[in-house]
């Protein structure tokens, strides 16, 4: 087995009276689900080696940048080692979340620390993040954001993120009570976590389910892997940990809608507005991917000091490389064959440092060809015509389905009075005038955004046959 993450750095910390072992990995490469069992065995061995001879009150904190299924599987393995000697099972387990300046306690056999408590952690070589601004933390109405749905022999626990606000760890116990209330009387063979769970919440829920209904397997939806990765196999195991369970019939790929436009046209803000609206829709799975490897526009670039951080990224990252373009095309192709309904691809704005501008450099053609339809954001006719010509050179002009014109305050928003069925054979794309496309306005929803989002949902559902 290749070890892209290597062995964890293991360090004992005092923890303000609650000592623990820190397991911290530095990412090198990409972790694959089939490698998960060997990492679980490695974690077990490291824990047993370092915890041997302790008084049984030692905690454990998991730190690193991993997929949710990795966090969930590691935490659950450590939490379910109760058949071993007492010192082999951590008294409590935390998952580091830098946004809260410490580790959120997700498993606790004692009253102190408690579930949802944030414990201070020092990461070697990493400056402490400090606590998050309380104005961006929400206590979450779990009955509205955490829902359950039976699906054959499976049961889906779906978490709808509250948006820009961060879920407060203090609500963890309420979340677990909600999970227990949602479970059907006849437990399914497989329980799937779906949605945008924080890593600590997903880990806590999987560990809770392993204790509450140990005979059921628990999997975590893995969009990039094209299915659900088993984080807990059940007792006795129904599925092997690390197994990938596809949940989409082969031959029904997700719809990919690419949003294109010149630099500073508002296309990235538009893509984020659409994504925030679509991900809150019931029974609709949407994912947004930023395809600009040089200057991405993500959530963190839109907050305070975001422009400075974006500039630092561009300086450190350097210019586009062929490897960047190949990697993005591979990721987008994998997302297209995932269990999603819709992929929103925020495309790069092109190279305007040359004359004439190259809106789609030749090496990026494979990325654009993966799109099923295009939204062109154009402030003026020259920009719209430029994108028509660039897409026409790749034989993609007929896939322009929507045109968005950023609308200043002096002009009211507008959209087609009668929505028509959108497909590749349309010769006249629908035109929208949409306001509030500045970076500072990304969280302000408008009626035109809702209208365009409805069109994207309808297009995606026709594509996948729903």
Of 60 and 29, the structure prediction assigns the larger pLDDT to: 60
Q: Of all helices (H) and strands (E), which one includes residue 97?
A: strand 92-97
Mean predicted confidence (pLDDT) in 292-321? 62
User: Phi and psi at residue 383, in whole multiples of 5°?
Assistant: -65, -45
Could you tell me if 415 and 432 are in contact, meaning their C-beta atoms sit under 8 angstroms apart?
yes
Would you state the structure tokens that stand for residue 374, as one six-digit string?
């295009």
Are the beta carbons of 199 and 220 closer than 8 angstroms? no
Summary mean pLDDT of the chain: 83
pLDDT at 1: 40
User: Which stretch of DSSP H or E encloses residue 290?
Assistant: strand 286-290
Q: Name all domains of the chain by residue range, CATH numbers in brackets.
A: 9-245 (no CATH), 255-464 (3.40.50.300)
Q: How far apart are CA 209 and CA 214, in angstroms?
A: 7
Q: Could you read off the pLDDT of 249-285 as tens digits, one per residue?
A: 555 688 999 999 999 899 999 999 999 899 888 778 8
**With contact defined as beta carbons under 8 Å apart, do 63 and 102 qualify?**
no
The distance between the two most distant Cα atoms of the chain, rounded to a whole number of Å, is: 74
Residue 306 reports pLDDT greater than 90: no
* Mean predicted confidence (pLDDT) in 146-164: 82
Q: Under 8 Å CB-to-CB from 304, ≥6 apart: which residues? A: none
pLDDT at 327: 86
What is the residue-wise DSSP string for 298-350? -GGGGSTTHHHHHHHHHHHH-S--HHHHHHHHHHHHHHHTSS-SEEEEE----
Q: Is the pLDDT reported for residue 336 higher than 70?
A: yes
pLDDT value at residue 307: 63
Instruction: Provide the percentage of residues in the chain whose pLDDT is more than 70.
Output: 80
Question: What is the average per-residue pLDDT within 143-163?
Answer: 82
- pLDDT, tens digit (0-9, with 9 covering 90-100), for 167-210: 889 999 999 999 999 999 888 899 999 888 899 999 999 999 99
> Across the strands, what pairs with 102?
97
pTM for the structure as a whole: 0.64
Q: What percent of the chain has pLDDT over 90?
A: 42
Q: What is the CA radius of gyration of the chain?
A: 24
């Amino acid at each position: 087995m290749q070890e892209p993450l290597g062995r964890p750095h293991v360090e004992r910390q005092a923890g303000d009276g609650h000592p623990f072992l820190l397991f911290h990995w530095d990412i090198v490469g990409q972790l694959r689900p089939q490698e998960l069992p060997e990492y679980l065995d490695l974690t077990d061995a490291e824990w047993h080696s370092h915890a041997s001879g302790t008084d049984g009150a030692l905690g454990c904190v998991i730190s690193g940048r991993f997929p949710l299924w990795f966090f969930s599987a590691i935490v659950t393995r450590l939490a379910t080692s109760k058949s071993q000697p007492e010192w082999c099972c951590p008294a409590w387990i935390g998952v580091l979340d830098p946004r809260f300046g410490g580790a959120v306690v997700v498993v606790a056999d004692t009253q102190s620390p408690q579930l949802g408590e944030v414990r201070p952690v020092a990461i070697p070589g990493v400056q402490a993040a400090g606590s998050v601004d309380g104005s961006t933390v929400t206590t979450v109405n779990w009955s509205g954001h955490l829902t359950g749905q039976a699906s054959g022999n499976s049961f889906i626990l779906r978490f709808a993120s509250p948006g820009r606000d961060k879920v407060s760890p203090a609500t963890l116990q309420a979340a677990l009570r909600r999970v227990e209330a949602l479970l059907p009387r006849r437990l399914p063979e497989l329980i799937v976590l779906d949605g945008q769970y924080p890593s600590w919440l997903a880990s806590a829920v999987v560990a809770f389910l392993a204790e509450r209904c140990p005979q059921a397997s628990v999997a975590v939806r893995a969009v990039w892997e094209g299915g659900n990765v088993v984080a807990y196999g059940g007792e006795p195991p129904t599925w092997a940990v690390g197994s990938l369970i596809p949940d989409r019939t082969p031959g029904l790929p997700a719809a990919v809608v690419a949003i294109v436009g010149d630099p500073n046209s508002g296309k990235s803000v538009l893509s984020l507005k659409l994504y925030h609206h679509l991900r809150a829709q019931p029974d609709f799975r949407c994912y947004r991917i930023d395809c600009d490897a040089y200057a991405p526009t993500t959530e963190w670039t839109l907050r305070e000091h975001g422009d400075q951080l974006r500039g630092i990224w561009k300086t450190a990252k350097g210019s586009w490389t062929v490897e960047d373009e190949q990697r993005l095309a591979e990721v987008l192709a994998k997302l297209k064959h995932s269990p999603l309904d819709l992929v929103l691809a925020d495309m790069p704005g092109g190279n305007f440092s040359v004359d004439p501008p190259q809106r789609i450099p030749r090496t990026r053609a494979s990325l654009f060809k993966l799109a099923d339809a295009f939204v062109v954001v154009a402030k003026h006719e020259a920009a719209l015509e430029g994108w028509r010509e660039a897409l026409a050179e790749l034989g993609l002009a007929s896939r322009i389905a929507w045109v968005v014109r950023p609308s200043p305050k002096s002009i009211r928003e507008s959209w087609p009075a009668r929505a028509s069925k959108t497909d590749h054979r349309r010769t006249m794309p629908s035109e929208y005038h949409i306001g509030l496309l500045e970076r500072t306005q990304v969280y302000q929803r408008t009626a035109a955004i809702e209208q365009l989002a409805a069109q994207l949902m309808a297009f995606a559902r026709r594509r996948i046959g729903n």
